[in-house]
Amino acid sequence: MAQRINPWIPLLALLLGYWVFLQLSPGAAPKISYTEFKTLVAEDKVARVVISDTRITGYLKAPERLPTATGTTAAKRFVVDLPPPQVGDKGLLGFLEAHGVVIQTQSPSIWPQLLIYLGPTLLLIVFFWFFFMRNQGGVGQVTQFGQSRARMYGTERRVATTFADVAGHKEAKAELREVVEFLKNPEKYRKLGAEIPRGVLLVGPPGTGKTLLARAVAGEAGVPFFSVSASEFMEMFVGVGASRVRTLFEDARKHAPSIIFIDELDSIGRKRGAGIGGGHDEREQTLNQILSEMDGFEKDTNVIVLAATNRPDILDPALLRPGRFDRQVVVGLPSLEERKEILKVHVRNKPLAPDVDLDELARVTPGFSGADLKNLANEAALIAAREGAARIAQDHFLKALDKITLGLERGALKLSEKERRAVAYHEAGHAVASEVLPNADPVTKVSIVPRGMALGVTVPKPEERVLISIDHLMDELSVLMGGRAAEELFTGTVTTGAENDFKRATELAKRMVLDWGMGDHFKNIAWGSHTGPVFLGEELARRKDFSEETARLVDEDIRKILDEAYARTKRVLEAHAAAMHRIAAELLEKETIPGERVRAILRETSREEASEAAPEA
C-alpha cells in the first residue's frame, strides 16, 4: 500500500528549488563591490541604474568583464549592494548625474513586509492545519467530522455469524428471531395491527454473548445492519455526538427497513442529572438525540435499534420506557447444558484426545460465561502445544482451569516448614468442613502449592442452584471460617492467611441481612447492601435509608451470623481431629490431594473411631 505524501513537502521543495535557480542560473547578474561600481561610473561605462531600498541594478553601455562566483565573465548588467543608511554615500546621486547616468527608482516590494508581519501567523495556521489533518485523516474527514462512524453490513458485506453459531440462549434467540422475521415479512404482523418494536436491549454480565447475538442478527437478517460502539459518538467537541446520531439514523432510514446495533450503551445512556455535571455536556446531548430519534416526533420509521449493556441499573429511565427499548432480553450466564453446548462450539476445530469429557468440564465450570469457556479451550490448546502434545487431553483442560481460576503456580515462592504446616492445616480445615457439613459443596481437590495471590487452595465443586437456602449459606460461611478455626485449634496460633476468607464471609453475611432478610432483627425487610459496582452519581445523591440504631442492629445481626458460623466450624473440626491431622500430613507430603482422598480419609477415621468406641461400650 503506497504511503500518502504530505502535500506541503513538494510545495516547499519547489519554492526552495526556484530560489536556488535564481541564485545560480547563468543569466543572473553578477554582484560587484560598491568601489568597483563607482569606478565604472567614473569611467563613463554605466548607462543607467535602477535604485531600490538596499541595492542598485546597473546597465553598462557595452559588455565588460565582471567578477562572478566562478571567476570573471562578460556582462552588461550588474548588481551592487548599497551601504547602510548610517554610512550612506550622500553625494551618490550628484555623482551619477555628473557622469550622465540615467537614474531610475523602484518602489519597495510589499512581500517582504507581509512575510515579516504575517509570516509567524501563517506558520501557526499551517502547523495547526497540518496537525488537524493528520489526526482526522485528511480533507475528507474535515467535512465528515460529525458524520456517523457506524459500519454497515447486509449489502456488499455480510456477517458470517448466524444463530447456529450461538450455543444456548434459546429464549434470547427466539426473541431476536421474531425481530428478524418482522423485518423480512412485516405484512404478517401488520395485518393483525402489530407495530414494529423500536428497540431491543440485550442485558447480561460481560462475556455472555450479547455482541455475538447481535452479529447473528446481522447474519440472519436480509436488511442493512449498522453496527457502532456507543463510545464512538463521543468527541471533545460539544454537539459532534448528536450530529453523528442524526446521520446514523438518517442513513438507517434511507435503507429502511434496517437494524442499528449500539454496543456498550451505558457509556452514553447513563442517567441524566445524576451527581457531578450539568445537563448540557456532550454525553447528555448525545443521549437526548438518541431519545428523540428513537421515539420523537416522527412515527413512520422502520428502524429497529439493538443495544447491549451489562449495567442496566445506571441507564436513564427515558431509554427504558415503552416506545424506545420496548423489550429487554436477558442474556445470562449459561446453565450446565448450555455450557456443554458452548464448549462443543469452541472445540469443534481442535484435535481432542479420547479422554476429553465435555460433560465433566461443564460440571466443573459453574458461573463461567461463554467468553470464559472460549478462553478455557484456548488455554488448554496452548498448554498442549507447550508440552508438544498432538491432541488436547482432559488433563490439559484441568490445568487450564486451574490457571484461569487460581492463577499461575509460584514456584519461586519458598515457605518455611512452619508456614507450610500452617497452610496445610488451613486448607485441611476448609476441606473437612466442606465434606462434613450437609449443605456445603463437595471438594474437588486440595492443594498447598502457591498460586496467584493464594498460598493454598481448596477447590469446591458447586452444584447448580436457582434458589439458595439459608442452610446452604450458613454452611458456606462455616467452610470459609474453616481455615482460621483449623489454625487456632491445631497450630496454636493464627496467621494472616484468612484475610480473603473473612472478606468473603463478611460480604455474604451482609447480603443475608440487608438483601435477603435473614437477620434476627430484620426478617421481612431489605435495606440493600449495595455490593455491586458503584455509580458515583447515585452514590452522591443517595440519602441514608436507616437510622443509627438500625445500623447498630444490622451490625449485631452480621456479627451474630459470623460468630455462629465460626463456632460451628470449630465443633466440626474438633470432632474430626484425626482426619485433620492425616489430611494435613498428606498435604505436606504430596502438596495436592484429590477430593476423593479427603472423603476416603474421613471414612477411614470414622470407622477407626467407631471400632475403638465399640469395646468400651
Please list the active-site residues: 427
Cβ atoms within 10 A of the Cβ of 475, count? 22
The label of the residue with cell 431491543 reads: 200
d(CA 42, CA 255): 88
d(CA 351, CA 349): 7
Q: HSE on the CB side for 229, CA within 13 Å?
A: 4
Peptide bond into 257 cis (omega under 30): yes
d(CA 125, CA 511): 61
- 8-state DSSP, 160: -
d(CA 594, CA 600): 10
Cell digits of residue 293: 430519534
* Bridge partners of residue 50, in order along the sequence: 57, 104
Give the number of residues written for the chain.
617
User: Could you tell me if 225 and 266 are in contact, meaning their C-beta atoms sit under 8 angstroms apart?
Assistant: no
The label of the residue with cell 485528511 reads: 138
Sheet of 102-105: strand order equals 71-81, 55-68, 46-51, 102-105
* Bridge partners of residue 308, in order along the sequence: 202
Nearest to 202 by CA among 179, 233, 221, 225: 179
* Bridge partners of residue 202, in order along the sequence: 308, 329
d(CA 308, CA 328): 10
- 8-state DSSP, 350: S
Question: Residues near 598 by Cβ (< 8 Å), separated by ≥ 6?
Answer: 431, 432, 435, 443, 446, 583
d(CA 56, CA 416): 96
Nearest to 165 by CA among 217, 91, 240: 217
Cell digits of residue 285: 446531548
- What are the respective helix, strand and coil percentages of the chain, to the nearest 5? 50, 15, 35
Cell digits of residue 365: 465450570
d(CA 145, CA 589): 67
User: Could you tell me if 40 and 30 are in contact, meaning their C-beta atoms sit under 8 angstroms apart?
Assistant: no
Could you tell me where the DSSP H helices lie in 106-224?
110-136, 139-143, 170-184, 187-190, 210-220
The label of the residue with cell 484456548 reads: 378
d(CA 302, CA 296): 14
